[in-house]
Amino acid sequence: MESPENLHGPAVGVAQDATPTTVDVDTAVFLLGAGVTTLTHPLLYVKLLIQVGHEPLPPTVGTTMFGRRVLYLPGFLSYAQHIVKVDGKRGLLRGLSPRIVSSAISTVVRSKVKQTSHEMIIQCLSRVATHPFHVMSVRCMAQFVGREVKYGGMLSCMVKIFKEEGVAGFYVGLIPHVLGEVLFLWCCNLLAHFINTYAVDESFSQASAVRSYTKFVMGIAVSVLTYPFMLVADLMVVNNCGLAAGLPPLSPVFSSWLHCWNHLSNKGHLFRGSSFFFRRVPLTSIED
């Protein structure tokens, strides 16, 4: 008959072995992040093509719930089906590899400093570290417009960009991207603090639960306001880089991100690509 020590020994060993190590946690976080990035990539791919103004499918005539006649542009599903028809199912993953690397780097950078006071600094450092991969991903995806093969794997992308544009080529569009993210953080934190401090009554039984969701809800609202910065950043990435998506007639050549902003503002396109569904163009008249 085994002694109590022997009986309890394996259980203790199993418990110790079951304790996850830092490496195990980091690996799990990386795999989870890579999985989420892969699943959401088709959405961002379609969004990027809409942002650059590529509309390969004709609009359809429809009516709103109030009877107003409008032209509906293709939504995400129709656009994704078009990509699959042209490039196959793997075509939906064009430009994915740089995004996975970018996500991994961002996770590592953010994990180094946990203090909220350093959130903005970490956000900026993360953007600087990951922006070159964002540039490579966007340009790979934008090749769909003109059917170019200029940018292939990550290594060839790096060589091509460095050879043609130098180090600066990896940071085109960085300024509006950083400005948008800094503005996003400031607005989220200020609005969440204001609401939690002055709008949520302490006597309310669910006050703590409401406060826990305030910043998340504010993030959704503020992201709409800061979207133009993201749009301008992506357009500057493809601007005059040799791809049809960044050259006339689809797009003018911009001298700066402010030039791009003013052009979109004058055209009323500062929120182009912000919606995947029910994208419509009002009709002044339609012949019956």
Domain ranges within the chain, ordered by starting residue: 23-52+72-96, 129-285
Lowest mean pLDDT among 5-9, 27-31, 44-48, 259-263: 5-9
pLDDT of residue 210: 61
The residue with tokens 């396109």 is 269
- Which pairs count as long-range contacts for 106-113, CB under 8 Å and 24+ apart, including other chains? 106/130, 107/29, 107/30, 107/33
- pTM exceeds 0.85: no
What are the tens digits of pLDDT across the range 241-272? 999 999 999 999 999 999 999 999 999 899 99
- How crowded is residue 46: how many other Cβ atoms within 10 Å of its Cβ? 24
CA 51, CA 111: separation in Å to the nearest integer? 31
pLDDT of residue 189: 80
The structure tokens listed for 213 are: 């969701």
Cα dihedral value 121, 122, 128, 129, nearest 10 = 150
Lowest mean pLDDT among 1-15, 45-59, 150-164, 172-186: 1-15
Pick the CATH number of 129-285 from 1.20.1260.10, 1.50.40.10, 1.10.3720.10, 3.40.640.10: 1.50.40.10
> Is-contact 128 228, C-beta < 8 A?
no
The structure tokens listed for 67 are: 């009877």
pLDDT grade for 15, boundaries at 50, 70 and 90: very low
pLDDT of residue 201: 58
What are the tens digits of pLDDT across the range 169-217? 999 999 999 999 889 888 888 887 777 676 665 665 555 666 666 666 7
